[in-house]
Amino acid sequence: MTGALLAILRPFGALNGAVLAVGRGLGAFAMAAMVVAILVQVVFRYGFNNALPWPDEAARFCMLWMTGLMAPTAFRRGGFVAIDMLRLALPARAGALLGLVLLCVCLAVLAVAVQIGWGEVTGFGGRFKTAALYLPMDTGFETWYRIPRSWMMLSLFVGVVLLLSVNVELVLRSLVTLMGRGEDLPVIPESSTVGAE
């Protein structure tokens, strides 16, 4: 049984690692774009006394995507804030079992969140356009396309799907640990370098 779980976990963990590496790279780009948008707004608002209509919304757009793409890596590496006094106070096996139960609760919440996220992308709210974000539709910048709100809400859906994938991996890791084969688990890299894994 444990061998089968490890056989599933190794490629699943490698796939998660590769997808999350791409997500970290895109998340870093979104963070940089957010900083640029905020700096542009500061310069125009305070330097030229003429606030632009788009930087605030562009920064919010980038922040949502950065969060959706970076949060799964933090979850996988144990970077979320956690109250683990009870788990650490319990004997090792009981603490691992409690961790597994909490991961299963998290899995249920994430499954509901996937449905909510998809509803936000495809539902009534996703049909609206953003207030001030436009993309040029031709090289002469004569035709502009107003970005739909669903593109912003897609960050929620993508983030929750990635969190769900990481959660499944963590559940498998917990099961292997509870079965006494924790030393055989592949190591999750904890490098802070973007794209390193």
pLDDT tens per residue, range 49-84:
988 888 888 899 999 999 999 999 999 988 887 777
Helix, strand or coil for residue 120?
helix
Cα 65 to Cα 22, 50, 125, 150: the distances in Å are 13, 27, 18, 12
pTM: 0.83
Q: What pLDDT does residue 181 have? A: 77
- With cut-offs at 50, 70 and 90, classify the pLDDT of residue 112: very high
Spatial separation of the C-alpha atoms in residues 171 and 36, rounded to whole Å: 39
